[in-house]
Chain A
Amino acid sequence: MIGKSVPRKESENKVTGTAKYTDDFTTAGLLYAKILTSPHAHANITSIDSTKAEKLPGVRTIITGQDYPILTGSAIEDRPILAIDKIRYFGEPIAIVVADSEYEAQEACKYIDVRYELLPVIHTVHEALAGIKPFIHENLLQYYQVKKMAPNPKQNTANHIKIRKGNIDKGRKLSEVTVNVDVSLPPSDHAAMETRSVRAEIVANGQVHIHSSSQAPFAIKQNICKYFMLNESDVIVHCPLVGGGFGGKAAVQLELLAYVASKAVGGRLVSLTNTREDDFVTSPVHIGMSANVKLGATKTGKFKMCEIKFLFDAGAYVDESSDITTTAATNCTGPYNIDHVWCDSLCVYTNHTYATSFRGYGHGELTFAIERAIDTLANKLQIDSIELRKLNAIKTGDTTPTQAPLTKSNIGNTLKCIQRVKELIDWKQGEIIHLSDRIVRAKGISCLWKTSLSPTDATSGAIITFNQDGSINLHVGLVEIGQGTKTVLAQILAESMKVDISKIHVKMEVDTSVSPNHWKTVASTGIYMVGNAVLDAAENAKKQLKVTASYALRCSPDQLEVGNSQIYVKHDPKRFINLGTAAFGYKYSNGNAIGGEVIGQGSFIMHHLTEIDSHTGKGIGGPEWTVGAQAVEVELDRKTFSYKIKKAISVIDAGKILNPKAARGQVTGAMSMGLSWASREGFIYDDNGKVENNQFRTYKTFIFDEQPEYIVEFISTPQLDAPYGARPLGEHGIIGMPAALANSLSKAAGVSLNQLPLFPETIWKHARGEAIDYK
């Protein structure tokens, strides 16, 4: 079963419309909540009058921030669930209306009279650091820190991460050539096709049921217990299939609002579903960044030092931004061995929608910065940019910027990835080819690496039960968000139990009252964490099955083997008992019985991870680093600056590939998202901080047939502590795409393109004023 392209387990339901997502469960008596959002980006609320709205037909209740004066946040508790006294971003929730129908709730929002006193808007991280009053969070130092932070209210900064590896002064001295590169990218969005959707109900015995399109059901449970002072056993979270997440659904936001909405109407079932417009600007977005990179090397191209400043645009509240700031810093060099590293990474408040995790979790951003610097250095040194990358590629025996040792298991083969990409992009044909007077073909390269920054004690569990027909039920706490992990877990279980994949039934829905815990469905860690738990559960079940079978077959359990839906004697396979029989105990001919139901249990916990030292960054942040190399080939019209992305290539060392078609789909899907992000995505704000593109007609993503030719290959250096040696790969295709696109277009246009998104207009603006040769 391992290494086969098994179609996803929920395939039939997804092609017939019977697959159910959170908002697909129609129920009589359901109430609907709608959020009144802020029309301004920074303002004091002077009054809220909802008396008119309360009298409208169908309206059951209206809730405002004053009703719930609590602050929330996964790193620092800075965010009210509904604005209290002050709003800090365009689209921020101010009030919730609960009504009999969606349109009545929507209508009533218009009749809530909110008065504002406008405040100056902080548009950029640079403005934020300048510290002009009023600050976004006046009481920043009073906020409860869930994780250790270094807030500086006068600079609107929530956290400051420092990486100090080697001796930067020495690194500077050893550098014969240095480049200094500024890059930036605006906040953008996950834009999952299913907008975020939640239902909440409080039943008579006090139990709270939350149904959510979430990647983090267990985090929802913890949050609701914590903020509303409930017992953990009283909160049950249900996650059906989720219509895309990309990190955006790992944040807990609407769930808290749906809970208070239900509470306000006596616990009745209340639905709260984002409109597309709200999903773009009210719920958390993909982080923006500005960065400066100084990269120093010898004349022969050996990297000697790297000095980086990241300014991450957290928006109005921190949520995951602090950990993204950390992750970018701890991996700031990309997959290159550099002895002297100095990085300051700041998590900065602005009056933008707050950011949360996004596919790649800071790695796409850091990669854009370092890889633009590498191409700039290659240019300055007049060294082939692929050879420069090969010369400095990280490998076993080196250390990361946090001085984490790299072993033959926790890092793959960067060099092999680069070499293969070089062949696939036909590098020797030339990096720049003039196809006509106007059209230039150019090739750009980027390497990538990624680790996850999980809690050092993140856990997963797995439970397996049996049916009398010999088939096996698998229950895990991981959410199926489209990544296909549940199908691959079924393959892992089928392989371990030596049964056909058709015999494995994976429970698609997660129910926190019965599903074993899983940290969060994030960071491409599903196969590593849950896969290991599944293997553990399978071993546990096999042990139990052999004991029961030993009574029936009158031998020692050690003499038995499990396979083909049987438990059989190793040296005499004709002596066997069916799996479906042994799984429920054995009954002797006189009626006596022994054994009992077999329930396999398995678990996994992260091991050997350490916290990151706040002064030097020293520590082991993640279990492994998946490495890869990518390339993009573009054709640019040097008169209009329009361009076509012709080819995109990924070579990723993903260890053992468990499901080749699914793996390719994860990589090409991520590449598509990365190229879409880099070429056209980003929020456009007006002078008052209002988002101007909160619909798909103005916030454009890739559409059909804009995709380039995708070439995807894998290198297979096994991760020794992962199921069958498989490495994480769900996010990785996105990471190098912005850098590879910018590197190719910079060559084609003959200018340095260090800002995303790369609209033709952006390239034109950069090129204007520079001597452009149309030849």
Chain B
Amino acid sequence: MLQSIELTVNHEKRRIYVRPADTLLHTLRENLGLTGAKPGCENGDCGACTVLFDQRPMKSCLVLAMESENHEIITIEGLHQTSIQKAFIDEFAFQCGYCTSGFIMNCYALAAHHPNPDDYQIKNWLQSNICRCTGYEEIKHAITKVLKQQ
């Protein structure tokens, strides 16, 4: 019942065995130990599991592991000292930290794809994630700061 697949995660090729029904989120966490992506709803509603899928933000609970073969996956563990991570710290853009990986991945992709987004684009992208601790003000400051710096 388990099937062998090869995933490219954080620039490493990994051969693993998964059930056809396993989501990418489950596989990242359980098979690869990459627990930065969080299961906030496993339903596509909260965005806490957001990863980059061929450089696009994707809710990893909505993709099967088997669909992810031949695609490039980047998780929060694949980002190192990026300006958005620094901005999240400096602007106090997280409290409990549970939604943070998803927000950072989304912000990172936004800055990469739209270096000069208008307010509507920022809102459109970041409304796919939920943060329950902050009032979103600090997250807005963090993404705005990074966009200004680029």
Contacts and interface: CB of A to CB of B under 8 A. Distances in A.
Given A243-B98, A668-B137, A275 B42 contact: yes
B76 A243 contact: no
Contacts of A697: 43, 45
Interface string A428-455: 0000000000000000000000000000
Contacts of B100: 14-15
A11 B135 CA distance: 18
A24 B40 CA distance: 13
Interface in A1-38: 5, 7-8, 10-21, 23-24, 26
Nearest to A280: B41
Q: Which of A191, A193, A244, A482 has the most CB of B within 10 A?
A: A193
A685 interface: no
B132 A193 contact: yes
B95 A483 contact: yes
B38 A243 contact: yes
Contacts of A10: 97
B60 interface: no
B131 to A, nearest CB: 7
B135 to A, nearest CB: 3
A11 B101 CA distance: 12
B72 interface: no
A194 B135 contact: no
B123 A482 contact: no
Q: Is the interface of A mostly helix, strand, loop or mixed?
A: loop
A143 interface: no
Contacts of A688: none
A7 B97 CA distance: 13
A16 B134 contact: no
A668 B135 contact: yes
B89 A704 contact: no
A193 B131 contact: yes
B130 A696 contact: yes
Contacts of A662: 92
B68 interface: no
A242 B37 CA distance: 15
Q: Which of B88, B131, B132 has the most CB of A within 10 A?
A: B132
Nearest to B33: A26
A13 B101 CA distance: 10
B85 to A, nearest CB: 4
B36 A701 contact: no
Given A16-B79, A17-B101, 14 more contacts: A15-B94, A17-B76, A192-B132, A193-B99, A194-B40, A244-B133, A273-B39, A275-B42, A276-B42, A482-B94, A695-B43, A704-B136, A705-B122, A710-B135
Interface of A: 5, 7-8, 10-21, 23-24, 26, 103, 191-195, 241-246, 273, 275-276, 481-484, 661-662, 664-666, 668-669, 671-673, 695-697, 701-707, 710
16 contacts: A16-B76, A17-B36, A17-B77, A18-B77, A26-B29, A193-B38, A193-B46, A484-B95, A665-B92, A673-B132, A696-B130, A697-B45, A704-B129, A705-B126, A705-B136, A705-B140
